[in-house]
Amino acid sequence: MKSSFLLKGTGTALITPFQDDYSVDYKSLEKIVETQIKGGINYLVVMGTTGESVTLDKSEKSAILSCVIKKSRNRVPIVLGIGGNNTAEVVQSLISADLEGVHSILSVAPYYNKPNQEGLFRHFCEVSKASPKPVILYNVPGRTGSNMMAETTLRIAENCPNVIGIKEASGNMDQIMSIIKNRRKDFLVISGDDSITLPLMAAGADGVISVVSNAYPKAFSEMVRCSIEGNWIRARKLHYDLFDLIPLLFAEGSPSGIKFVMENKGLCKSTVRLPLAGISKGLQEKIKKTIK
């Protein structure tokens, strides 16, 4: 079975639950992992943006990964986020990391230093050469400050066989559809935006790495599954059931919004680490009203 096939459908970009003292809440993390798997998601993504990876130290990252792998018990694949804006440092992290139990690497495009398209291409060529696991590119210009164009993504895919897909969060439908149209046969195109997953699935995308599925794994993964099966009537209903909630989750920063929803569902506390802060009372009321 092709390694990319296992990552079709819904992957949840797991939050990292914290106690009131900002320590990692491993008990809640175990509960969340179990809820995700029972809810029907296809794989779990650890150490992504939603997991507040940039505020975790090395020992915490290792312990969180171990916790997720142990609790998942090989029931779903695990994708690990390893990326950064220092190519040499990312390469060293890939070489030195203990990747036992990890299926693939999700590697974000370099942020802050705003490389050009040639720089992005050469960065990911180095990542590809260093990684002992399949690599998923992550294009999110709203966070990185630079957009990886379709031509660059396709060039990387052509030159790096172990790059098996891209999480596309540019929001640029023409760009994403260009990748879908011209990609190699086994190259995954994964939505990075919950709200446009349905239209992207209709255009031929393979699934999503989702934020809202942290709180609603069953509904969102069913929406994606129905899209894959061509059951568009059911998929549309599930899409619109969550449509009004999704933008509220990002209105004052992520994962502050989704953590508030999860606290209301009894899954964990809504605590986030600085520089993030909890959402305002006004937004809390809007979310409460919407989820009712």
Provide the H-helix boundaries in the chain.
26-38, 58-72, 87-96, 117-130, 141-144, 150-159, 173-182, 197-203, 217-229, 232-243, 246-249, 256-264, 281-291
Picking from 248, 227, 230, the residue whose alpha carbon sits closest to that of residue 239 is 227
Segment holding 78, helix H or strand E: strand 78-81
Picking from 47, 34, 73, 226, the residue whose alpha carbon sits closest to that of residue 136 is 47
Active site residue 240: no
Phi then psi for residue 152, to 5 deg, are: -70, -45
Cβ pair 203, 174 in contact under 8 A:
no
Encoded tokens for 52 = 């507040």
The C-alpha atoms of residue 282 and residue 221 are separated, in whole angstroms, by: 29
Encoded tokens for 283 = 């937004």
The C-alpha atoms of residue 235 and residue 221 are separated, in whole angstroms, by: 10
Picking from 167, 164, 88, 170, the residue whose alpha carbon sits closest to that of residue 130 is 88
Encoded tokens for 258 = 């989704």
Burial profile 203-218: b = 16 or more Cβ within 10 angstroms, e = fewer:
eebbbbbbbbbbbbbe
- The catalytic position among 8, 61, 138, 259 is 138
Active site residue 114: no
Burial profile 88-124: b = 16 or more Cβ within 10 angstroms, e = fewer:
eebbebbeebebeebbbbbbbbbbeeebeeebbbebb
- The catalytic position among 8, 71, 133, 167 is 167
Catalytic residues: 138, 167
